[in-house]
Amino acid sequence: MAFPAFADSTPTAKCRFLGQKTSFKGKLYTCIKGKSKGKTILKWDSGKVIPVASPSTSQTPTASPSSSPTVSPEPVIVKKNEIPIAKSSEVSVNSTQSFTAKNSNGSETKYILARNSEGLIAMDATCPHQGCTVAIAASGLLCPCHNALFDPKNGAVLRGPASYPLNRFEVREVEGVIYITD
Ligand code: FES
């Protein structure tokens, strides 16, 4: 009966004492007791494969910044007492325009809108002197009754007899529409 040849798989070092260890061809061998021709001998065991340290994968994947969640726009809420009086496009920057709309009481009312460095301003076209309706003129907002003159940018008094500026309203632009609260 032919035995497999162990020559190639046996350590070349001599097995001298029990527990002796040696590495050979990637295996760790231990010296153990064995039998040969009825005698107790020392021999190398079958060996254990020495684990090869795998290269550490130090490159930890960096979490790619996720795209920022899109914030859904808040729903547009127009208050009950807000009155749409013009389109935003109708009041360009550095301009003053007049519009007529019904106020919350249903009364036809003339309003003046101005857009400038102070922002968008909504004014009542009613003269605070005696209640006439001011109109846009070359010199400003002019009252036809007693010639009071108001600043077209903000309604401030430029000339009497009016003592008070034009009344202002809360104004808001929502999706291209100008609303005032009156
Ligand atoms: S009512 Fe406007 S100036 Fe008198």
Question: How far are the Cα atoms of 68, 84, 97, 113, 173 from residue 93, in angstroms, in the given order?
Answer: 34, 19, 11, 11, 14
Contact in structure between 101 and 144 (CB atoms under 8 Å): no
Q: Are residues 86 and 16 in the same domain?
A: no
Protein residue with least CA distance to atom 1, ligand 1: 130
Question: Taking the chain (182 residues) in consecutive chunks of 10 residues, what is each chunk's mean pLDDT?
Answer: 52 80 80 81 83 53 49 62 91 93 88 93 96 95 97 94 95 92 86
Instruction: Give the model's pLDDT for residue 77.
Output: 67
Q: Is 5 within a domain?
A: no
Distance (Å) from CA 104 to ligand 1 centroid: 25
User: Which residue segment(s) compose the domain that 38 sits in?
Assistant: 11-49
Q: Is 72 within a domain?
A: no
Looking at the CA of residue 130, tell me the nearest atom of ligand 1.
1
Q: Are residues 43 and 87 in the same domain?
A: no
Domain total of the chain: 2
Looking at the CA of residue 162, tell me the nearest atom of ligand 1.
3
How far is Cα 172 from Cα 84, in angstroms, rounded to an integer?
9
Q: Is 75 within a domain?
A: no
pTM of the model: 0.57
Question: How far are the Cα atoms of 100, 118, 152, 166 from residue 108, in angstroms, in the given order?
Answer: 7, 27, 21, 18
- The CATH number of residue 119's host domain is 2.102.10.10
Instruction: Give the model's pLDDT for residue 36.
Output: 80
Contact in structure between 89 and 154 (CB atoms under 8 Å): no
Distance (Å) from CA 57 to ligand 1 centroid: 86
Q: Are residues 29 and 117 in the same domain?
A: no
Instruction: Give the model's pLDDT for residue 104.
Output: 83
Distance (Å) from CA 38 to ligand 1 centroid: 136
Q: Is 121 within a domain?
A: yes
Q: Are residues 89 and 168 in the same domain?
A: yes
- Full DSSP string of 51-103: PPPPPP---PPPPPPPPPPPPPPPPP---TTEEEEEEGGGS-TTEEEEEEEE-
Instruction: Give the model's pLDDT for residue 26.
Output: 79
Q: Is 26 within a domain?
A: yes
Instruction: Give the model's pLDDT for residue 1.
Output: 45
- Chain centroid offset of residue 103 CA: 39
How far is Cα 105 from Cα 25, in angstroms, rounded to an integer?
101
Q: Is 31 within a domain?
A: yes
Alpha-carbon dihedral 15, 21, 23, 26, rounded to 10 degrees: 120
Q: Are residues 96 and 158 in the same domain?
A: yes
Residues with CB under 6 A from ligand 1: 127, 129-130, 132, 143, 145-146, 148, 161-162
Instruction: Give the model's pLDDT for residue 134.
Output: 97
Instruction: Give the model's pLDDT for residue 48.
Output: 82
Query: Which two tokens mark 121?
Result: 């301003």
Instruction: Give the model's pLDDT for residue 79.
Output: 67
Instruction: Give the model's pLDDT for residue 93.
Output: 94
Reported as half-sphere exposure (CB side, CA atoms, 13 A), residue 126 has a value of 9
